[in-house]
């Protein structure tokens, strides 16, 4: 396990939630600096989702896959 993942695993639930909030906020900041091509791709993906909402996986399935240990 990488050093960063080890450090994260040692955090309390509250600390992990705080870290997640900080990462999310940094992503929002990064999103403000998207290129026109990146914005167009995101708009395209959103349109596809709106056309066929059943084609996506529920969060529970995605989350289960993310936290599944190899």
Could you read off the pLDDT of 22-31 as tens digits, one per residue?
998 888 777 7
Cα torsion angle, 39, 40, 43, 48, sign: negative
Q: Where are the domains of the chain?
A: 1-33, 35-70
> Looking at residue 70, what is its pLDDT?
67
- Mean pLDDT of all residues belonging to the chain: 88
Q: Tokens for 10? A: 């040692």
Q: Please answer whether residues 5 and 13 qualify as being in contact, where contact means their C-beta atoms are separated by less than 8 angstroms.
A: no
The CA distance from 8 to 2, in Å, is 10
The tens digit of pLDDT for each residue in 47-70 reads 999 999 988 888 888 888 888 776
Global pTM exceeds 0.75: no
């Amino acid at each position: 396990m990488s050093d960063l993942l080890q450090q994260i695993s040692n955090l309390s639930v509250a600390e992990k939630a705080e870290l997640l909030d900080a990462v999310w906020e940094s992503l929002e900041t990064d999103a403000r600096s998207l290129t026109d091509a990146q914005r167009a791709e995101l708009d395209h993906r959103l349109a596809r989702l709106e056309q066929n909402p059943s084609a996506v996986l529920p969060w529970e399935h995605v989350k289960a896959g993310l936290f599944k240990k190899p």
